[in-house]
Chain A
C-alpha cells in the first residue's frame, strides 16, 4: 500500500475502472420503470395545455380566458401575455390551462378568445443584405492580427468560399416541463426535467415568494437536455402557479411544436472566408466574415475563427449578429464549436484541394497553429483514424473517385477541441456497518451514466461489487452539485466520490489496524477483503462493522480540486466515408471513425456510447436536421418530428469509436465527454461529400436539394 495520497489506482490494478461496465440503472430505464417528470401522476394531478401565438411578431389585441374557465373540469388558468404584450416569435406562450384531463384542457385552450395585431417580422437569417436593409443586423465585431493583405498578396494559393450551417433545435425526447404540487403548508414539490437539480429551487422561490428551503426539486431521470434545460422557464413558474390556484398537483409538459419553437435552439452561422497557404501548404492568412442569428437578441456564434488553427499569424475576422423573430438560442452541446468547426475545417479542406494536397496532410502540416497542448494528441489521433478508415488507400483527389456511375464515394475529416473542466460537486458518502455503501448528491444523469460512473469509482476504491453500492442522484435535498453542462459532470462527481471514499477507507484501515494489530500503512482493499501485503486480514464486511452501529459518513464538498483526479482539455479527430448519389442528391453514410481522448476513462462502455451518440447527432445536423423558417409567414414550418428530420437506425452506417488511451491519457485524470465528439461530424461529412463529388455543398445540412444545387452550380 502506497502512502495516503489522493490519486487513482495505478492503471494495471483496476478491476472495474476503464472496463466495459453496463449501466446500473439500465433495467429501470429499458423496462419503463424509471420515472421522468413527464411520468409523474400523483393522485389528483391536473393536466396543462398551452395557447401559443402563431404569428412571428404580434401584439396581443384581445385576450379573454373566461370561456376557458367556464368549461367543466378546468381548475386554473394562467396568462403569460395579456393585452398589449408582444409576441416575438411563432410559438410564444400566451396562456395555459389546467384541467382534470388533457383533452378538457385542450378544449379550454380552444375556447380562449384571442386576437393579435400583426407586426413586421424578419427570419431570413442567411441573408445579410436583407438583414441590414431591415435594420436587423447588429454592428459587426472585428478582431485583427498580423497583416492579412500582405500575406494574401504573397501567398502561393488563395481560396475563397461561402459556408454555412443552419439553426437546429435540441429536440429533447422528453419535452421541457414539470409536475408541481404546491401544498397548503407553503411547500412546493417539483418533479422537473432539468440538467440543474441543485440550481433551480431559487428560480421558483424568488418569483413565487416562497422560502427556498421549502422548494423540493426531484429529477431522477431526464429525457434529454443537451444544454436546454438549466432554467425552469416561464412555463415552469406557470405550472407552480396553476397548482397553487387549483389547490391540486399539475403536470405541464410542452407539446412537441412548442418544444421546438420555444425551448431553445443552436444559432445558425454563415460565412465568407478567404484562406491562403504558402507553397508548402502552411496556412499564412485567414480573413472571414460570418453572420447568423441567436434569435431575437441577435447575437451570432463566437467569432473565434479559424477554429483550432488560430495560431495563423495573419488573421482578420468579423462577425455580424442578426435579430430574427425566433426563440432565443440556448447552449447546445459544445456551444459555438460545431459551427466554428463546420466553417473552418471545410474551408481548409477546400484550400487543400486547390493546392492539390491530401486533406489529411494539410491538417497535419498545420498542427503547429493548433493549441500546443493538443498537437501531439491530434497527430496521434489522426494516425489512428487514418488507419481505421484506410485513408491512404481510399482517399483520392476531390471528385476523382466515383468511376462512371452516378454513385460517388469520398472521405473527409475534421478535428475539434473542448475543455470539460469538472463542475463543483459535493457528495455525502456513507459506509454502512453491513458493508454496503451509499452515495448521495444533487447531480443528475442526462444519459452519461452518472450513477454508474459513481458506483464504479466507489466499488473500485472499496474493492466491493457494484451491487453493494447504492447511488442516489436527482434530489436538491442532497449535497449541492453543479449543473450538467459543458462535459462537466463525470469529472465533477468522480473527484469528490474518490476523495470521500479514500477518506472513509483510510479511517476503516485505522480501525482494522487497531483491531487486528497490523500496520495500517500496509493495508489495501480488494475482492471484498482487506489485505496486508499478500495476507488476508479480514473480510470487507468485518472491516465495515468496525465503524460501530452508525454508518461512517464522509461529506466531500471541496468541489473541483487540482489533485490529479480530474483534468481539462481534449482533442478529437473524426473521419467520414460517404456515398453520394449524384442523380438524387442523397448522401449515405458508409463508415464513420471517431478517435477521442478524454483522460482517465471510468466506464469504457458508456464512454464509447457517448461518442457514438454524439456522432449520430452530428450526422443529423450534417445531413437532414434543420429549423426551417418561412420568410413570408415567419413561421417555423417543420416544428414536428415528421418534417424535422432525424436519422433512424438504418441511416447512420457503421460507426467506429476508438478511445485514444495511451498511459499519458490515463495519468492526467478524468475529463468529461459530452461535448467534444458532437463537434466534428458536420465538417467531416461535408468534406467527404466534397471529396466524392468534387464540389462543395456549402451549407449544412446537406439535403438532397442542396447536393443537387451544388452539382448544378459546379462551384468548388
Chain B
C-alpha cells in the first residue's frame, strides 16, 4: 500500500495517519463484517469519530482490550500500550520491516495497519518466539550465524524469516534473497540472516 501522503511525513501537514484516519471507517467496517462478537465495542459508528474506543486485540494468545483512538497504528498499540517493544519503529513508512509481526500468520508491517482493523485477527509478535529458555529455531539460527549487530532491526527480520519459512519450507537461496527483501539492516547482517534461513529451509533445492 502506498499513498502519496507518505512522501512528506514529518511536521505539520497532511500525513498518512490522517489518511488512514479518514479511511478507517471503511476499513474497519470491512474488518468488522467478519469479526467475532466480542469486538463489537468498536462499531462503525464509533470509528467515524476520533474518540478513543475499546479495541480488542488478540496478541500472542492473549486478549487485550485497549481504549485507543481509531488512528492508532498496530505498531503504536503493541509498543506503547502493550509494552511489546520487540517490533521497532524505524522508517514508519512501510519500507524497512523492523516492525514486522505476524497477522493471521502472514508477515505484516505493523506500522501499516491500524490497531482497530486487526481486531478478530491473531497477532503474533517476536516475544512469542521465546518462552524462558525455550527459543524458536529462527532465533537460535540468527544467533548461531550472527545475523545481528546492533540488533535493532533483528526482531523484525526474525519475524519475516519465521513467516517466510512457514510458507516456503523448501526455499532456495534465491527464494530467500527475494523473500526477505522487505527488511533493511544498516549494520549489514544479511549474510547471517541468509545462512540461518538456508539452514532451516530443510529439503530445499540447494
Contacts and interface: CB of A to CB of B under 8 A. Distances in A.
B15 to A, nearest CB: 8
Contacts of B11: 50-52, 54, 109, 257
B157 to A, nearest CB: 8
B64 interface: no
Counting chain B CB atoms within 10 Å of each CB, the highest count among A32, A50, A257, A609 belongs to A32
Interface string B136-171: 000110111011111111110010000000000000
B113 interface: no
Nearest to A650: B177
B150 A447 contact: yes
B contact patch SS:
loop
B139 A30 contact: yes
A32 B187 contact: no
B83 interface: yes
Given A255-B92, A612-B189, 20 more contacts: A30-B126, A32-B126, A32-B158, A39-B88, A101-B69, A103-B76, A106-B15, A173-B153, A223-B152, A225-B150, A256-B10, A257-B10, A447-B148, A606-B146, A617-B188, A642-B93, A648-B190, A649-B176, A649-B194, A650-B181
A173 B183 contact: no
Given A224-B187, A255-B92, A640 B149 contact: no
A641 interface: yes
A173 B127 contact: no
A637 B200 CA distance: 41
A16 B22 CA distance: 58
A54 B9 CA distance: 12
Interface in A225-283: 225-226, 253, 255-258
A360 interface: no
Given A31-B130, A39-B79, A641-B96, A221 B88 contact: no
Interface residues of B, number: 69
B135 A27 contact: yes
Contacts of A23: 143, 146, 148
A418 B3 CA distance: 45
29 contacts: A27-B139, A29-B148, A29-B151, A30-B143, A36-B88, A38-B85, A41-B85, A101-B69, A102-B76, A103-B17, A110-B13, A173-B152, A221-B150, A223-B150, A223-B152, A224-B150, A256-B9, A256-B90, A257-B10, A447-B149, A448-B149, A610-B149, A612-B189, A613-B149, A613-B188, A613-B189, A615-B188, A648-B183, A648-B190
B42 interface: no
A501 B153 CA distance: 34
Contacts of B183: 648-649
Nearest to B12: A110
A613 B147 CA distance: 10
A659 interface: no
B142 A26 contact: yes
Nearest to A253: B89
Counting chain B CB atoms within 10 Å of each CB, the highest count among A54, A224, A258 belongs to A224
Contacts of B158: 30-32
Contact of B12 (A109, A615, A640): A109
Given A23-B148, A447-B151, A609 B125 contact: no
Give the contact-size bracket for chain A.
35 or more
A641 B177 CA distance: 19
Contacts of A641: 90-91, 93, 95-96, 184
A614 interface: yes
Contact of B180 (A26, A31, A258, A649): A649
Given A27-B139, A47-B80, A447-B151, A52 B146 contact: no
B126 A31 contact: yes
A33 interface: yes
A609 B189 contact: yes
Interface in B32-78: 69, 71-72, 76
Nearest to A637: B7
Interface string A3-37: 00000000000000000001101111111111110
Q: Which 4 A-B pairs have the closest CB atoms?
A: A32-B86, A223-B152, A616-B188, A447-B149
